[in-house]
Amino acid sequence: MLKVEDIHVYYGNIHALKGVSLEINEGEIVTLIGANGAGKSTLLKTISGLLKPKQGQIVFEGKAISAKAAQTIVKQGISHVPEGRRVFANMTVGENLELGAFLRKDKKGIKQDMEMVYDLFPRLLERLKQQAGTLSGGEQQMLAMGRALMAKPRLLLLDEPSMGLAPLLVKTIFRIIEEINVTGTTVLLVEQNANLALSIADRAYVMETGRIVLSGNAEELTSSEKVKMAYLGGS
């Protein structure tokens, strides 16, 4: 479904991604784990068109997208839930969700997807007329995910969905990620909580300083001594 080939990305003179390659098959949950500053968020921003690679290419469903504008990439079927949620604070929950469907014209489909988002996140229906900035962190995360789903993505990019959330809410968010995947959306997940990410993923890639240093199915990486020591608390 997605092929990233030898991507190099720079922030000014800083070489942030150094020849990153990965593949995602349709229907998978693939997770990217690694320390802060490893380049995980940079990779998601590059896939979604917010950053442009200096070298290499990204192919989604057989079409090169590396040079495409971010809104074109959304139209083609990739939605990005950024780190820190980035909801529109002064707009209501309902308005945020409607904005997610901004590029769509199929009114019936939009209505069905709105119902699907309410089924996944009943809390959003309760808060529909509330300003997004007044929601709790967990509710804002639900809203950011719901808004991304309103674009009807075939590939959903999730950047640190558990950040700053209470443990109980984290479990809820991860259960919902699995539900989203079961309904047919492929997921690329960046997550600091490596244990949790590996528990729901099919496959995983480990990033260090702008490079992929390990990859394999989630079970293999969970039992890898190197991964255990570096990312799973050594146990």
CATH of range 2-77+153-231; options 3.40.710.10, 3.30.365.10, 3.20.10.10, 3.40.50.300: 3.40.50.300
First to last CA, the chain: 34
The length of the chain, given as a count of residues: 235
Domain with CATH 3.40.50.300 in the chain: 2-77+153-231
- List residues bridging with 20 in a β-sheet: 7
Cα gap 97→93, rounded to integer Å: 6
Q: Residue 235 pLDDT more than 50?
A: no
Q: Residue 213 has what pLDDT?
A: 92
Cα gap 174→197, rounded to integer Å: 8
Measured CA distances, 88 to 50, 93, 186 (Å): 18, 9, 25
Q: For the chain, give the mean pLDDT.
A: 91
Of 58-62, 85-89, 123-127, 216-220, the one with minimum mean pLDDT is 85-89
Token pair 């991604």 in the structure block, residue:
17
pTM of the model: 0.89
Measured CA distances, 55 to 8, 52, 113, 146, 166 (Å): 5, 9, 37, 33, 40
Model pLDDT for residues 182-212, shown as the tens digit of each residue: 989 999 999 888 889 999 999 999 999 999 9
For the chain, give the percent of residues with pLDDT over 70.
Answer: 98
Kind and range of the H or E element at 186? strand 186-190
For residue 31, the SS3 value is strand
Measured CA distances, 20 to 1, 56, 145, 223 (Å): 17, 9, 26, 24
Q: For 25-128, list the strands marked E by DSSP.
A: 29-33, 55-60, 63-64, 78-81
Q: Residue 233 has what pLDDT?
A: 65
